[in-house]
């Protein structure tokens, strides 16, 4: 692939600037002034358009490819919500406007969206209040753990040091607990994919600050002992944290607030179709019950008796700000529009279809791949490529094969407690035809692992980068064309 600098032809122009209205003798201190012309590529507009359009197509995205990445819930984002988020009344608001004279009047619509969104989230999850500020699921976890810490501090629970987390948890759970200052205790899973209750009982003592759980778990199964788990944690005044990344499977059928949880986050980019994107944007609203409400971040939107909305900062026990202003407002608008579009019945149907699709794929694939937990799954299922690995074809090789088939690979090597893991989540937005095509390709990979296992080392053949050193790529990122070689 040619880089844009390699397309450069001396003297070629794509755009001409008008005459500068900045005085040419503007006083830029000499040490800041450029001594030579900037090394810019000289290309036409068409060169630039083709270059960047081509680059954009080298990426897999939910708009271009089937994307069954387990745990990530890569569902389609309907374009309707994009057009709502772009309405000038939302997109052009300055975040300081509500605090300026007369500004509150101009932001009533925006404040109402935040207020109603909070109410709806409470209704769907069984919690008392939400903060919409956190900028991602992981950020919501940290916020929730800060609320947990504030609770213990206020109650004088000085011994609290540990947060209990099942071994199937997403890596962000222990990371967030560590950042919040807690040590973590991992609880192994039982043979059904649930939490090992005996191990939990052994770990619970008055130093336990709380427990973080994902339901359905990252194995895609429901935790049937949840009432007992909540009772154990509450018996030592611990806080029950619900990681809501998998809420897509439960929406409208079961509410975390009714299951014994005290605090949760929602990943709007997983459950309510706002874009996922390279670590952001996202939104991770955090819901709490009455125990934790007074610690919520400021500001909070309130409704006056006259029906108008305003921002309230007067919460003396609040943990303060966790994000600038009101969080990722444009994403919250998208989540709101999505809820409005689907309505109650639509949202319930969403979870029915997410679970149906996941079970469809699980049933079709379990003849060919080793299924970890042979029971009804929720929104995703976990396989192991151990049979294929015995032939020399590992989960990563199957992932690379799928890339050449124009399919984004499922999550591989997670959950870490499963060897050769492949976690598959089709989401509710995929058709039977798309899933059948995926199954066909997975069967093809299995057959090929029997007849020609060594060919997998050549995959992917269709990508500009084939098999990068993933650790080095993450640790030693070079994003600039001109970056001098590090030595």
Ligand X SMILES: *Cc1c(COP(=O)(O)O)cnc(C)c1O
Mark 208-243 as b/e (b = at least 16 C-beta within 10 Å): bbbbbbbbbbbbbbbbebbeebbebbeebbbbbbbb
Cβ neighbours of 192 (radius 10 Å)? 15
Q: How many CB atoms lie within 10 A of CB 37?
A: 6
Tokens 């929602």 sit at which residue? 266
Tell me how far, at minimum, the Cβ of 91 lies from ligand X, in Å.
23
Show the tokens assigned to 267. Answer: 């990943």
Q: Whole-number minimum distance, CB 171 to ligand X, in Å? A: 8
Out of 107, 125, 214, 381, name the contact with ligand X by CB under 6 A.
Answer: 214
Among 62, 195, 233, 245, binds ligand X (CB under 6 A): 245
Residue 77 found at the interface with ligand X (CB under 6 A):
no
Q: With respect to ligand X, which residue has the nearer C-beta, 111 or 138?
A: 138
The minimum distance between CB 389 and ligand X, in angstroms, equals 25
Structure tokens at 241: 């944290």
Q: How many residues bind ligand X (CB under 6 A)?
A: 14
Residue closer to ligand X (CB basis): 284 or 426: 284
If one asks whether residue 243 binds ligand X (CB under 6 A), the answer comes out as: yes
Q: Considering only the C-alpha atoms of the chain, give the largest distance between any 2 of them, rounded to a whole number of Å.
A: 77
CB of 312 to ligand X, least distance (A): 27
Pick between residue 71 and residue 357 the one whose CB is nearest to ligand X: 71
Give the residue with the Cβ less far from ligand X, 214 or 449: 214
Regarding 284 and contact with ligand X (CB under 6 A), the answer is yes
Among 131, 267, 271, 299, binds ligand X (CB under 6 A): 267
Contact flag: residue 256 with ligand X (CB under 6 A): no
Closer to ligand X by Cβ: residue 265 or 400 = 265
What burial letters (b/e) apply to 149-179, b meaning 16+ CB within 10 Å? bbbbeeeebeebebbbbbebbbebbbebbee
Q: How far is the CB of 214 from ligand X (least distance, A)?
A: 4
Instruction: Kindly tell me which residue out of 107, 172, 248, 388 binds ligand X, with binding defined by CB under 6 A.
Output: 172
Classified as helix, coil or strand, 207 is coil
Integer distance in angstroms from the first to the last C-alpha of the chain?
Answer: 26
163, 167, 128: which is closest to 145 by C-alpha?
Answer: 163
Nearer to ligand X among residue 149 and residue 245 (C-beta): 245
Q: Does 420 bind ligand X (CB under 6 A)?
A: no
- For the packed helices 395-404 and 432-451, what is the interaxial angle rounded to 10 degrees? 120
Nearest alpha-carbon partner for 78 in 424, 338, 291: 338
Residues in 114-153 that interact with ligand X by CB under 6 A: 136-138
**CA separation for the pair 442, 422 (Å, rounded):** 11
Task: State the residue for tokens 């090929």.
Answer: 448
Both tokens of residue 324?
A: 């600038």
Q: Is 218 an interacting residue with respect to ligand X (CB under 6 A)?
A: yes
Residue 272 C-beta: closest distance to ligand X, Å = 12
Beta 286-288 vs 300-303: how paired, if at all? unpaired
Residue (138 or 333) nearer to ligand X, CB: 138
**Near ligand X in 151-170, by CB under 6 A:** 170
In order, the DSSP letters of 439-481 are HHHHHHHHHHHHH-GGGGGG---SSSS-S--HHHHHHS----T
Q: Which of 43, 71, 418, 428 binds ligand X (CB under 6 A)?
A: 71
Least Å distance between CB 267 and ligand X? 5
Residue 223 beta carbon to ligand X: minimum distance, rounded to whole angstroms: 13
At its nearest, how many Å lie between ligand X and the CB of residue 432? Answer: 25
374: phi > 0 → left, psi -120 to 50 → alpha, else beta; which? beta
Q: What token pair was written down for 89?
A: 């009344």
Structure tokens at 292: 């934790």
Q: How far is the CB of 59 from ligand X (least distance, A)?
A: 18
Q: Give the span between the Cα atoms of 70 and 380, in whole angstroms.
A: 6
The residue with its CB nearest to ligand X is 137
Taking the least distance from each CB to ligand X, the nearer of 269 and 370 is 269
Examine residue 268 and tell whether it contacts ligand X (CB under 6 A): no
Shorter beta-carbon distance to ligand X: residue 110 or 330? 330
Contact call for residue 282 and ligand X (CB under 6 A): yes
What would you report as the CA-atom Rg of the chain, rounded to the nearest whole angstrom? 25
Contacting positions for ligand X (CB under 6 A): 71-72, 136-138, 170, 172, 214, 218, 243, 245, 267, 282, 284
């Amino acid at each position: 692939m040619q880089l844009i600098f390699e397309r450069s032809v001396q003297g070629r122009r794509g755009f001409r600037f008008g005459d500068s209205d900045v005085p040419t003798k503007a006083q830029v201190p000499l040490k800041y002034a450029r001594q030579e012309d900037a090394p810019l590529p000289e290309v036409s507009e068409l060169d630039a358009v083709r270059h960047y359009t081509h680059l954009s197509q080298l990426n897999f995205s939910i708009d271009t490819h089937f994307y069954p990445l387990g745990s990530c819930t890569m569902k389609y984002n309907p374009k309707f919500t994009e057009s709502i988020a772009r309405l000038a009344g939302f997109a052009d608001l300055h975040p300081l406007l509500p605090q300026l004279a007369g500004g509150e009047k101009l932001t009533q619509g925006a404040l109402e969206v935040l207020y109603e969104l909070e109410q709806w989230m409470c209704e769907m999850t069984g919690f008392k209040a939400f903060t919409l500020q956190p900028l991602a699921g992981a950020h919501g976890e940290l916020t929730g753990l800060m609320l947990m810490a504030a609770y213990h501090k206020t109650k004088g629970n000085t011994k609290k040091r540990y947060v209990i987390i099942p071994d199937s948890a997403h890596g962000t759970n222990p990371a967030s607990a560590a950042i919040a200052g807690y040590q973590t205790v991992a609880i192994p899973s039982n043979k059904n994919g649930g939490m090992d209750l005996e191990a939990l009982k052994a770990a619970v003592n008055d130093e336990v600050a709380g427990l973080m759980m994902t339901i359905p778990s990252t194995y895609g199964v429901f935790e049937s002992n949840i009432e007992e788990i909540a009772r154990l944690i509450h018996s030592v005044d611990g806080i029950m944290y619900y990681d809501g990344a998998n809420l897509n499977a439960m929406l409208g059928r079961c509410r975390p607030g009714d299951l014994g949880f005290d605090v949760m986050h929602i990943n709007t980019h997983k459950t309510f179709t706002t874009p996922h994107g390279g670590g952001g944007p996202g939104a991770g609203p955090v819901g709490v019950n009455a125990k934790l409400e007074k610690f919520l971040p400021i500001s909070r939107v309130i409704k006056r008796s006259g029906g108008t909305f305003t921002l309230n900062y007067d919460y003396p026990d609040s943990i303060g700000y966790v994000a600038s202003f009101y969080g990722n407002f444009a994403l919250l608008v998208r989540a709101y529009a999505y809820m409005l579009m689907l309505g109650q019945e639509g949202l319930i149907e969403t979870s029915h279809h997410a679970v149906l699709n996941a079970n469809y794929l699980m049933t079709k694939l379990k003849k060919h791949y080793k299924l970890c937990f042979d029971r009804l799954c929720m929104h995703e299922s976990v396989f192991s490529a151990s049979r294929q690995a015995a032939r020399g074809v590992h989960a990563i090789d199957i992932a690379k094969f799928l890339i050449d088939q124009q399919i984004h690979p499922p999550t591989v090597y997670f959950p870490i407690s499963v060897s050769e893991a492949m976690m598959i989540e089709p989401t509710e937005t995929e058709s039977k035809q798309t899933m059948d095509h995926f199954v066909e390709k997975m069967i093809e990979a299995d057959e090929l692992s029997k007849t020609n296992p060594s060919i997998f080392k050549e995959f992917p053949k269709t990508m500009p980068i084939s098999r990068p050193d993933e650790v080095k790529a993450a640790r030693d990122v070079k994003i600039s064309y001109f970056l001098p070689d590090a030595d």
